[in-house]
Amino acid sequence: MPLLVCSAQRCVYNDGMYCSRGDILVGGEKAEISGETCCTSFKKRTEMSGKSSMGTPSQKINVACEACECKYNKNRNCDAGKIDISGTSACKCEQTECSTFQK
Show the domain range for 33: 3-98
Q: How many structural domains does the chain have?
A: 1
Quick check: is 22 in a domain?
A: yes
Q: Which residues contact 54 (CB under 8 A, 6 or more apart)?
A: 12, 13, 20, 21, 22
User: What are the pLDDT digits (tens) for 6-47?
Assistant: 999 999 999 999 999 989 999 999 999 999 999 999 999 986
Indicate the pTM of the whole model. 0.88
Quick check: is 103 in a domain?
A: no
